[in-house]
């Protein structure tokens, strides 16, 4: 390697959903410029990845020295205040699982609902305002016609990992990443927008039902719902045929 160890940051404070933390941390370690079988066995690792999933844990970490550290956010709904951001010595970055025209929460949902032909991943500087900081990278891909939310989310996460691996050498360098000319557009979507999409109108037709089901998907913590005669009904699918999840047929319906 041409660069000495002391030219790299010592720590990435990784703020992410706890389910994503292991693979994101592993990607950073493998993609690091100093990564090698010998380096992985050293007593002193070339990079410390500090996994964090809550605001309280981030605040606790920020109370200690942050020299040689950088905050990287990926797949987290924690909003980092200006006070916390100011404690980190250089720009913090977020990898947003959507293109610049899809800021906010659930970008894949609203891309599918709007019938978008393409999707993507955006890396940007973190600011107190959500998905508004200067953009440093955008990667785009086409949305296949037949995919549902589960499949698009899987494609999106693969794109996030590719961007993380590609930019790891720059992220562990103290210098700020160069900004590009791309700009955010449209209003940032919120949890309330997703909840509204889950509530079916009482005059919903088959086409609108199918459109919303494709976009919203089915999950343990959400479902399409409708209110009739003062009673709220939630979708619990019972199919006679094969069930498709993530674009792949599953064994038998129920």
Q: Are residues 151 and 221 in the same domain?
A: no
Q: Looking at the structure, tell me whether residues 152 and 242 fall in a common domain.
A: no
User: 77 and 105 in contact (C-beta within 8 Å)?
Assistant: yes
User: pTM for the whole thing?
Assistant: 0.86
8 near 173, Cβ under 8 Å?
yes
Task: List the CATH number of the domain containing 85.
Answer: 3.40.50.170
182 found inside a domain:
no
pLDDT in tens, the chain (254 residues): 344 445 889 999 999 999 999 999 999 998 988 876 565 555 456 789 999 999 999 999 999 999 999 999 999 999 999 999 999 998 999 999 999 999 999 999 999 999 999 999 999 999 999 999 999 999 999 999 989 999 999 999 999 999 999 999 999 999 999 999 999 999 999 999 999 999 999 999 999 999 999 999 887 778 899 888 888 888 876 544 444 444 444 444 43
223 and 167 assigned to the same domain: no
126 and 201 share a domain?
no
Same domain, 38 and 161: yes
- Alpha carbons 201 and 170: distance in angstroms, whole number: 48
Tokens of 186: 């449209």
Shared domain check, 214 and 133: no
Provide the token pair at 115: 């019938």
The verdict on 15 and 121 lying in the same domain is yes
Do 31 and 164 form a contact (C-beta atoms < 8 A)?
yes
Tokens, residue 128: 């107190």
Are 159 and 206 members of one domain? no
Task: Tell whether 142 and 245 lie within a shared domain.
Answer: no
User: Residues 141, 77: one domain?
Assistant: yes
Cβ atoms of 137 and 94 closer than 8 Å = no
Domain extent at residue 31: 5-171
On whether both 99 and 127 belong to a single domain, the answer is: yes
When divided into structural domains, the chain yields a total of: 2
Give the span between the Cα atoms of 37 and 177, in whole angstroms.
Answer: 28
183 located within any domain: no
Sheet holding 118-125, edge to edge: 48-52, 11-16, 69-74, 93-96, 118-125, 135-142
Q: What burial class does residue 187 get, using C-beta atoms within 10 Å of its C-beta: 0-12 exposed, 13-18 middle, 19+ buried?
A: exposed
CA pair distance 118, 127, nearest whole angstrom: 26
Q: Could you tell me if 163 and 232 lie in one domain?
A: no
Contact 11, 49 (CB under 8 A): yes
Q: Which two tokens stand for residue 237?
A: 């699918």
Q: Quick check: 47 and 11 in contact, CB under 8 A?
A: yes
DSSP letter (8 states) at residue 133: S
Q: Answer yes or no: is 131 within a domain.
A: yes
Hey, what are 56's tokens? 């309280």
Q: Report if residue 138 sits inside a domain.
A: yes
Is 179 part of a structural domain of the chain?
no
Spatial separation of the C-alpha atoms in residues 204 and 190, rounded to whole Å: 23
pLDDT tens profile 41-70: 554 567 899 999 999 999 999 999 999 999
Is the residue at 17 inside a domain?
Answer: yes
């Amino acid at each position: 390697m041409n660069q000495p160890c002391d030219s790299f940051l010592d720590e990435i404070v990784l703020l992410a959903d706890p389910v994503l933390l292991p693979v994101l941390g592993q990607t950073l370690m493998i993609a690091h410029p100093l990564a090698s079988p010998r380096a992985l066995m050293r007593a002193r690792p070339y990079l410390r990845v500090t996994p964090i999933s809550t605001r309280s844990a981030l605040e606790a970490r920020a109370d200690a020295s942050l020299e040689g550290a950088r905050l990287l956010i990926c797949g987290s709904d924690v909003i980092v205040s200006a006070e916390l951001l100011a404690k980190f010595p250089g720009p913090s970055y977020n990898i947003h699982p959507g293109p610049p025209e899809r800021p906010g929460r659930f970008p894949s949902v609203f891309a599918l609902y709007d019938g978008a032909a393409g999707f993507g991943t955006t890396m940007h500087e973190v600011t107190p305002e959500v998905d508004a900081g200067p953009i440093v990278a955008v990667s785009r891909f086409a949305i296949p016609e037949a995919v549902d939310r589960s499949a698009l989310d899987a494609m999106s996460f693969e794109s996030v990992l590719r961007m993380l691996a590609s930019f790891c050498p720059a992220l562990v360098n103290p210098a700020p990443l160069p900004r590009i000319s791309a700009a955010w557009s449209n209003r940032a979507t919120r949890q309330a927008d997703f909840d509204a999409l889950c509530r079916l109108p009482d005059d919903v037709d088959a086409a609108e039902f199918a459109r919303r089901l494709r976009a919203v998907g089915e999950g343990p913590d959400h479902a399409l719902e409708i209110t009739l005669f003062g009673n709220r009904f939630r979708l619990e699918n019972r199919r006679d045929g094969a069930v498709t999840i993530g674009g792949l047929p599953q064994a038998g319906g129920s």
